[in-house]
Structure 1
């Protein structure tokens, strides 16, 4: 009883801290959440970002302290504790602290199966998104929604603010549908996960037009255009708000010959390559636990740009990709810039962007190519805004 009392006191302290910041995430609103879960067998779709307050306890620990019967944990890319590299295989396992089974939703099993949901009455999804289409937590949410719809399981989504809250970039073309581009939304979708879930559900984007039984617990004290910095890094290579802000503009570099700083302490804040030396800044990627164990150009010096003291773009910027392509072309290496063209197109959501860069189009001309689709998306988005 004493331990529980101390934990409840700590949760109260965190709630007071959060109120001082004037933001309550959905997961912090226990008065709304507990009545929905009481007496039910619960499955959690959570990771390391599922915290209560700025330095709070994990949602799992909080629910267990409230005698909520959590049966199992479903973990997305990077795993339950958020330490696995991008694309690294995630195995099923057991949480050492609670003893609960952990089921991976990354790899071959991206969607909870009927067997895995058989002993579950209700699922709860609580993960910090960053607002970019290719950040795979929202694809995991899509598949969880499908599984809930097919197995008649209700789903609670505890909403969190979008730290990169812009609507920008190409809307994903149908032929480039993949786990990093699952829904027909722009590169920067401008939604919270709760808004996006309602959009996916009501626009008929689930398999065979299925609809999930969703309850969204909205954020209190945040609205669109308000700044927000996650209290914990959303994934191993997004360690701070600068990385999050540059991530949408730099992630497509992963389909090129340019390093985005994986294997350094500044991923998505430095860019460069050993192939061209027109920039004075340099860095050397290393194998780093908690960041990337096998980064591009490991142990090779890269020359490029340090973006840590530069104001990030307000939305999507193509200036870095265009300028680096021009430097490669100027040095006779243009044909070796897009090392994985299909992957670049998949991340971008549209193959036309790469083709226009090669043809010498400037940023404004490329932006004009997606303007019509983006305006149509904005009309759809307006129907689902909660803030």
Structure 2
């Protein structure tokens, strides 16, 4: 790769960088892997564009093909149209004459309205008339019959950078199904709002589940495009097969780029604060503590009716709402913390988890604090044991470090952006 740093202040730098961008179209990763890098001096000066918005890079790959799309409400393209700020990827491609056969929908459904964990059923998209096939119902992996006559699959879903967010698992199974049938996959990359750090326990393979399929930390600091390359390159698919994967890269992005999602990635992550807190407080989903489902403060408040109320001056009452028909502690007063004014996190915080556990142990010995789901979220039994043993947060964090360093070496092989 050309070293552009000596030319930072010259027109030659801009000339070379512009030509470099123009001749680069996509990151292609398969058995014959080729990649390209955007020069760091130039990437900072480009307007941020998602892979979906760089239509000129992938439209030619779809012409005359039978296309299937794996997407949801986040599969949008920002427009310059004053009457329409956004257009869905499906609508955009249909308007450009691309033949779309069907849509595959992940957890929460194609329009993103279903509860967490709620079975999503097959159906018809009322706007386009396209068949919608659920990847969060009877099957989480597209079948050969469902992919019959499909020439290419597009994957375009917004991730939030946490291992237990199930869109990663959907990506894995889509890649696996397509690899088995030799169907190419085009992954339209999107920014990771938690891409600025790497942290948390690394999953142990005996604890794999749909909320964690790979040996990665809770926060892995990669875009979904980079992550797809890692799945392929590390041969994590069944029988170590590899997918014919093309990543359409972001423009103007680094892992330090701040990104505010234009639409909710799922019903219970309503804003930037909830997304930033999510990797730290999702652990409470495996305890008797509410994370605010059933309120308008999802993943921004934590509380339980079983805690000692004298210690907490904040309270809330979960009630059924969109995205949470049966919230934990429905109709009960939950005492705890309001985290909406917490500073932006650049690591996983365990202090709230340890604090709530100690309070529970002191005042509710007869009831369990942790559920079996906690180990699935943590990806290891160690974290629960460490908390129960009374280890300090810094001691727990220290126990992750060797695994994190090993992961960073693996991660570095698949990065597209600085």
Q: TM-score range by the shorter chain?
A: over 0.9
Preserved contact between residue 318 and residue 363 of structure 1 (Cα < 8 Å): yes
Preserved contact between residue 233 and residue 240 of structure 1 (Cα < 8 Å): yes
Preserved contact between residue 77 and residue 86 of structure 2 (Cα < 8 Å): yes
Partner of 2:50: 25
Partner of 2:162: 132
Structure 2 residue corresponding to 1:178, chosen from 200, 206, 209: 209
Preserved contact between residue 72 and residue 102 of structure 1 (Cα < 8 Å): yes
Q: RMSD value over aligned CA atoms? A: 1.4
Instruction: Give the match's secondary structure for 2:383.
Output: helix
Shift of 1:21: 8.6
Partner of 1:311: 343
How far apart in 2 are the matches of 1:355 and 1:179? 23
Kindly report which structure 2 residues correspond to 1:338-353, keeping only aligned pairs within 5 A, or say none: 338=370, 340=371, 342-353=372-383
Partner of 1:35: 60
TM-aligned CA distance change 1:200 to 1:336, over 3 Å: same
How far apart in 1 are the matches of 2:250 and 2:149? 30
Partner of 1:221: 252
| Structure 2 residue ranges without an equivalent (≥5) | 1-43, 80-84
Partner of 2:329: 297
Partner of 1:359: 389
How far apart in 1 are the matches of 2:136 and 2:313? 39
Partner of 1:15: none
Structure 1 residue corresponding to 2:89, chosen from 50, 56, 59: 59
Instruction: Give the match's secondary structure for 1:149.
Output: helix
Preserved contact between residue 277 and residue 300 of structure 2 (Cα < 8 Å): yes
Shift of 1:313: 2.1
Partner of 1:12: none
How far apart in 2 are the matches of 1:120 and 1:368? 48
Partner of 1:4: none
Preserved contact between residue 326 and residue 334 of structure 1 (Cα < 8 Å): no
Q: Would you say 1:325 and 2:350 are equivalent positions?
A: no
Structure 2 residue corresponding to 1:283, chosen from 308, 316, 338: 316
Shift of 1:173: 0.1
Partner of 1:44: 69
Shift of 1:368: 1.3
Shift of 1:43: 0.2
Instruction: Give the match's secondary structure for 1:357.
Output: helix
Based on CA coordinates, which of the two structures has the bigger radius of gyration? 2
Kindly report which structure 2 residues correspond to 1:95-174, keeping only aligned pairs within 5 A, or say none: 95-165=125-195, 166-174=197-205
Preserved contact between residue 306 and residue 364 of structure 2 (Cα < 8 Å): no
How far apart in 2 are the matches of 1:334 and 1:120? 56
Q: For 1:125-177, what per-residue CA distance to the aligned partner results, in whole angstroms no more than 9, with x for missing partners?
A: 00000000000001000000000100000000000000011211111001100
Structure 2 residue corresponding to 1:268, chosen from 296, 299, 307: 299
Instruction: Give the match's secondary structure for 1:187.
Output: strand
Q: TM-score, normalised by structure 2?
A: 0.86
Q: Which sits farther off after the overlay, 52-61 or 152-161? A: 52-61
Preserved contact between residue 325 and residue 334 of structure 1 (Cα < 8 Å): no
How far apart in 2 are the matches of 1:313 and 1:326? 23
Preserved contact between residue 67 and residue 152 of structure 2 (Cα < 8 Å): yes
How far apart in 2 are the matches of 1:148 and 1:203? 17
Preserved contact between residue 104 and residue 135 of structure 2 (Cα < 8 Å): yes
Partner of 1:247: 278
Shift of 1:315: 2.1
Q: Which sits farther off after the overlay, 306-315 or 129-138? A: 306-315
TM-aligned CA distance change 1:21 to 1:271, over 3 Å: farther
Shift of 1:208: 0.5
| Structure 1 residue ranges without an equivalent (≥5) | 1-18
Q: TM-score, normalised by structure 1?
A: 0.93
Q: For 1:39-87, what per-residue CA distance to the aligned partner results, in whole angstroms no more than 9, with x for missing partners?
A: 1000000000001028411000000000000000000000000000001
Shift of 1:335: 5.2
How far apart in 2 are the matches of 1:384 and 1:232? 27
TM-aligned CA distance change 1:147 to 1:283, over 3 Å: same
Preserved contact between residue 25 and residue 158 of structure 1 (Cα < 8 Å): yes
